[in-house]
């Protein structure tokens, strides 16, 4: 008989938000990357209202982890049952159960995670009890922090896009977005870039740049997922500091509690359409320092839309120039 045992961890936390709000955050997995720091990107592969399959990338101990996740959603009982497979450890299936229990105008949120390694699977630092404990606590804390801002979430969340038409093949445009290491020579507000791509298509980039509102120099880190067959690059900001290492971000970037960007290169009969989409969660506590004591979330939404839009249009215009000038040189 196998000496392997089930590894499990379970915790619960009180949340100052209605149970329906918390369950809604759990159910809407596609929005997690902008809501929660540890999620990079989530794609819904299929969904029938009760069961769904997700392709998910998250961060564990600084490593980007791709996962295949099956979920069963039960809105009446406010539970979500999950099974996930890590391609790096395909012999281990981690199961989980989220449960939201009403408690007046508050609720209790619990999460149980467990896995039962097969007999041939050795020990792993990512699948032991301490790792599960840390992950469960982190996930609960993330959901609690967002859910307790539920009365302002509609104003805190912001999504928008800009686009441009390019008279050139989509391969050249995609190449511009993929090769971010070349941006210091191509994009004026980027000073330097250091990129690691240990796994093809998964980039971890450190960037030194001028903040997108021109307020000063900023050092940031991002995870970028590159999908060449689909012509897409997903960019998730992880942190930003000033060059001296202080945690306070310069300028309007301090307003961002969460930020993801996606560049989509869409070939068409009349040329290539390039779309830059932003998803933002604002940081309400930074209103005073970024915009002044009389500022509102409406002001913040306007400033962030305008500032990020200017930066997006600059990069879109440079991608167009890169592709079209390459064609002219070849011609």
Q: Is residue 1 part of a domain?
A: no
Do 175 and 141 have their domain in common?
no
pLDDT tens for each residue of 80-118: 999 998 877 766 788 999 999 999 999 999 999 998 765
Q: Which of residues 96, 119, 148 is at a domain's end?
A: 148
96 and 72 together in one domain: yes
* In a domain? residue 2: no
Query: Strand, coil or helix: what is 63?
Result: strand
We report the CATH number of the domain holding residue 81 as 3.30.530.20
Residue 251, by phi and psi: left (phi above 0), alpha (psi -120 to 50) or beta?
Answer: left
- Does residue 208 share a domain with residue 91? no
Chosen domain end from 131, 148, 165: 148
Q: What is the pLDDT of residues 49-80, one digit of tens each?
A: 899 999 999 998 888 999 999 999 999 999 99
With both helix axes pointing from N to C terminus, report the angle between 297-330 and 170-178 in degrees, rounded to the nearest 10: 120
Specify whether 201 is located in the same domain as 100.
Answer: no
Is-contact 158 301, C-beta < 8 A? yes
Q: Using one digit for the tens of pLDDT, what is the confidence trace for 290-315?
A: 899 999 999 999 999 999 999 999 99
| Cα(143)–Cα(136) distance, integer angstroms | 11
Q: Are residues 213 and 97 in the same domain?
A: no
8 A C-beta contact, residue 222 and residue 241: no
Sheet holding 89-103, edge to edge: 7-15, 106-115, 89-103, 79-86, 63-74, 51-60, 39-47
Give yes or no for a contact between 231 and 266, defined as CB atoms under 8 angstroms apart. yes
Contact 121, 92 (CB under 8 A): yes
Q: Are residues 180 and 305 in the same domain?
A: yes
pLDDT digits (tens, 9 = 90+) for 1-10: 444 567 899 9
Range of the domain at 12: 7-148
pLDDT tens for residues 113-172?
Answer: 998 765 545 555 455 678 889 999 999 999 999 999 999 999 999 999 999 999 988 899
Question: Looking at 110, 132, 148, which one is the last position of a domain?
Answer: 148
Same domain flag for 76 and 19: yes
Q: HSE on the CB side for 114, CA within 13 Å?
A: 10
């Amino acid at each position: 008989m196998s000496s392997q045992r089930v590894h499990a961890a379970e915790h619960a936390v009180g949340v100052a938000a209605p149970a329906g709000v918390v369950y809604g955050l759990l159910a809407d997995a596609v929005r997690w990357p902008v809501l929660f720091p540890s999620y990079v990107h989530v794609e819904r592969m299929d969904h029938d209202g009760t069961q769904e399959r997700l392709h998910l990338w998250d961060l564990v101990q600084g490593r980007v982890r791709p996962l295949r996740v099956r979920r069963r959603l039960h809105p009446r009982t406010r539970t979500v049952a999950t099974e996930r497979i890590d391609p790096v450890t395909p012999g281990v299936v981690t199961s989980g159960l989220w449960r939201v229990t009403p408690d007046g105008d508050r609720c209790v949120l619990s999460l149980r995670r467990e896995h039962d390694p097969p007999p041939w699977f050795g020990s792993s630092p990512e699948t032991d009890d301490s790792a599960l404990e840390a992950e469960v606590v982190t996930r609960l804390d993330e959901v609690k922090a967002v859910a307790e801002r539920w009365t302002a979430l509609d104003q805190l969340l912001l999504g928008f896009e800009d686009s441009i038409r390019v008279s050139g093949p989509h391969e050249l445009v995609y190449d511009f977005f993929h090769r971010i290491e070349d941006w210091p020579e191509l994009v004026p507000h980027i000073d330097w870039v250091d990129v690691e791509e240990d796994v093809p298509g998964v980039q971890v980039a450190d960037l030194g740049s001028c903040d997108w509102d021109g307020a000063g120099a900023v050092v940031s880190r991002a995870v970028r997922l590159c999908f060449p067959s689909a012509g897409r690059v997903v960019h998730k900001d992880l942190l930003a500091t000033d060059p001296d290492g202080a945690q306070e971000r310069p300028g309007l970037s301090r307003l961002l509690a969460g930020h993801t960007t996606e560049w989509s290169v869409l070939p068409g009969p009349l040329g290539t359409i390039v779309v830059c989409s932003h998803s933002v969660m604002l940081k309400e506590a930074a209103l005073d320092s970024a915009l002044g004591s009389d500022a509102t979330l409406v002001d913040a939404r306007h400033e962030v839309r305008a500032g990020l839009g200017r930066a997006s249009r600059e990069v879109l215009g440079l991608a167009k120039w890169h592709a079209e000038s390459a064609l002219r040189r070849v011609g």
